[in-house]
Each structure stands twice: as structure tokens, then as C-alpha cells.
Amino acid sequence: MFVLLAVMLVPTLRAYLVQQQQYRDLQASVARSETTVAELRQRKEDWKDPAFVEQQSRTRLRYVRPGETSYVVVGADALRDRPRHDALSVIDPGHGSAPRAWYATVWDSIATGDTMGEDPRNGPVSRLDGTTETGTDPTSGLPTTWGTVPAP
């Protein structure tokens, strides 16, 4: 008799527990949606304030009022991401973080890629930081050894 009762109740109890979990998941989803809706309503109210609109247009679009002069510091974003050294900020002009003209980059790629008749192991290697190496390992300074690619 006990086995028959257990066989009848176990699937029902399991279905009840699964439904309870689904109910809790839906409640959490509704709570997240309500939070998102509240944030979006607050944003909508912020845009009704003329001071907020002016602040956003000055920040995002770099608008200025008539008679004002706007100055843009070139390279300020790169300096903002660097770690500070006490109160001084040191700029290394030889580091190559300044933007280059497009034609200089094209000419460098032509000069670097024009090694058809030379041994590629001795050719220059362009690095992501803008520097170029000529066949040496940057960690040891020894000549770079290249592996052979097997024929297909």
C-alpha cells in the first residue's frame, strides 16, 4: 500500500517543486524588468531638464555656446589611461603613441613587406606597438630561429 501511495505522489510532488522554481524565476525576471523600467523612466525625466540636455550636448557632442572657445587636447585619452607617477605625468615622445599620417603607415608597410628576394628570417618584424625588429628575440636578444612548415 505504501509503495502505491509513493508511486502516485512522487510525480505530483516533483511537478509541484518544478512549478515553484519556475514561479520564483519568473518573479526574479519581473523584478529585473521593473528595475529596468524605473531606470528608463528616470532617464526620460532627466532629458526633460534643460540643464541635463545642455550638459550632455557639451560632453557628448562638444557643443559650446556662442562666444565660447572650445579646446581639444590631442592625445588626452592616451594619457588618462596611463598610471600616474606621483603628481607628475611623463610623456615619452619616442614611444610612438601619437597618431601617424595614413601615408606614412602605408609607406612603412610597403618598405617592410618588400622583402621578396631576401631570406624572410632576416627580414624586419612589425610589432603591434609600432616598433620594428629585425630577426631578434625581444626577450633574449638572440637571433630568432624559425621553424619549418611541413609541405601539404
* pTM (2 d.p.): 0.40
Q: Angle at the Cα of 37 (from 41 to 30), degrees rounded to 5?
A: 160
pLDDT(37) > 80: yes
Residue 105 has what pLDDT? 79
DSSP string, 53-114: HHHHHHHHS----TT------TTHHHHHHSPPBTTB----GGG--S---HHHHHHHHHHHH-
In the predicted model, what is the mean pLDDT of the chain? 75
| Number of residues that make up the chain | 152
pLDDT(93) > 60: no
Q: Which sign, positive or negative, has the C-alpha torsion 103, 105, 108, 110?
A: negative
Out of 17-26, 45-54, 65-74, least confident range: 65-74
Out of 84-93, 94-103, 121-130, least confident range: 84-93
- Give dist(CA 40, CA 46) in Å, integer: 10
- Contact by Cβ (8 Å): 143, 119: no
Residue 135 has what pLDDT? 55
pLDDT category of residue 7 using cuts at 50, 70 and 90:
confident
118-143 pLDDT, tens digit per residue, is 555 555 555 566 566 555 555 555 55
